[in-house]
Amino acid sequence: MLNRTIPYETDLARLRNDVLVCIVCGRRSAVFFADIEGLSYRRCTICRAIFMHPDQRLSPGEEYQRYCQHQNDTADTAYRRFLSKLAEPLLQRLPPQASGLDYGCGPGPALAAMLREAGHKTTPYDPYFFPDPEPLNGLYDFITCTETIEHFYRPAEEFARFDRMLRPGGWLALMTCFLTDDQRFASWHYRRDPTHVVFYREATLRHIAGRFGWTCEIPVKDVALMQKPPVSIFT
User: What's the pLDDT at 234?
Assistant: 46
Scanning the chain, the segments in alpha helix (DSSP H) are: 9-16, 60-68, 77-91, 110-117, 155-165, 202-212
Q: What pLDDT digit, counting tens, does each position of 163-207 carry? A: 999 999 999 999 999 999 999 999 999 999 999 999 999 999 999
User: What's the pLDDT at 15?
Assistant: 62
Task: State how far the Cα of 161 lies from the Cα of 25, in Å rounded to an integer.
Answer: 14
Q: Between β-strands 140-146 and 166-175, what pairing exists: parallel, antiparallel or unpaired?
A: parallel
Rounded to 5, what percent of the chain is helix, strand, coil?
35, 25, 40
User: What's the pLDDT at 69?
Assistant: 85
User: What's the pLDDT at 14?
Assistant: 64
- pLDDT under 70: residue ranges of the chain: 1-15, 232-235
Q: Which of 20, 25, 19, 82 is nearest to 206 (CA)?
A: 25
Other Cβ atoms closer than 10 A to 87: 23
3-state secondary structure 44-74: ECCCCCEEECHHHCCCHHHHHHHHHCCCCCC
Query: Is 133 exposed, middle or buried, given 0-12, 13-18 or 19+ CB atoms closer than 10 A?
Result: exposed
User: What's the pLDDT at 16?
Assistant: 72
Contacts of 33 (CB under 8 A, 6+ apart): 41, 42, 43, 50, 182, 185
CATH superfamily of 9-227: Vaccinia Virus protein VP39 (3.40.50.150)
Q: Where are the domains of the chain?
A: 9-227
**Measuring CA to CA, how many Å separate 223 from each of 104, 122, 169?**
16, 19, 19
Q: Which of 63, 66, 55, 86 is nearest to 177 (CA)?
A: 86
Residue 165 contacts residue 134 (beta carbons within 8 Å): no
Q: Which of 147, 175, 151, 161 is nearest to 212 (CA)?
A: 161
